[in-house]
Amino acid sequence: MVDPRGMCRKHLLGEHNEIHMFVGTLRAKTSVGGYIKKGLLEIHRLEERHIELAQELKHRGYQHESPLNFTSRNPKFEFRGYVDARRSYADLHTRCATCKARFKRILGKGKSWIQLRKQVNDIFSVAVWKAYTNTVMEKSVL
């Protein structure tokens, strides 16, 4: 997942809305298999990710009046889906100049773009490996 500090307003609010939407979809018992296959959803991380995004929203002075009322700590949701953080970074940085500039300004701290990208890759190769092993451990069927 992308560090919320490096996300522009539009993408931060967008991902936050998506989480509420996914939870609504799960409550309605509508299939989310398509999102999981496309690598757009990690059910077991929705709660944690919502906290991260809501904290960043508050930190930037936005009102957050939308409790999620959802727990990922349900054995049913263990290791469901996997989002490739490196791909998410690449998407944001290719598509959104604001995210790219913000990421470099907030997290780059004087580093060159190449150094920063290497740092991101180093961090996320560990995260990707962990997520991969989690996915392999997943036994249940969607």
Which candidate, 29, 70, 32, 36, places its Cα nearest to that of 51? 70
* Binding track, positions 84-103, relative to Zn ion; x by CB under 5 A: ------------x-xx----
Residue closer to Zn ion, measured from CB, 2 or 131: 2
Farthest-apart Cα atoms in the chain, separation: 47
Residue closer to Zn ion, measured from CB, 13 or 127: 13
Total residues contacting Zn ion by CB under 5 A comes to 6
Answer positive or negative: Cα dihedral of 89, 93, 98, 104. positive
Q: Taking CB under 5 A as the criterion, which residues in 10-49 touch Zn ion?
A: 11
Residue-level length of the chain: 142
Q: How many helices (H) and strands (E) does the chain have?
A: 6, 0
Residue closer to Zn ion, measured from CB, 86 or 138: 86
Residue given tokens 């931060």 in the structure block: 12
Answer positive or negative: Cα dihedral of 123, 54, 71, 33. negative
Candidate list 8, 32, 116, 127; residue touching Zn ion; CB under 5 A: 8
The nearest distance, CB 12 to Zn ion, in angstroms, is 8
Q: Taking CB under 5 A as the criterion, which residues in 103-122 touch Zn ion?
A: none
Where on the chain is the footprint of Zn ion (CB under 5 A)?
A: 8, 11, 66, 96, 98-99
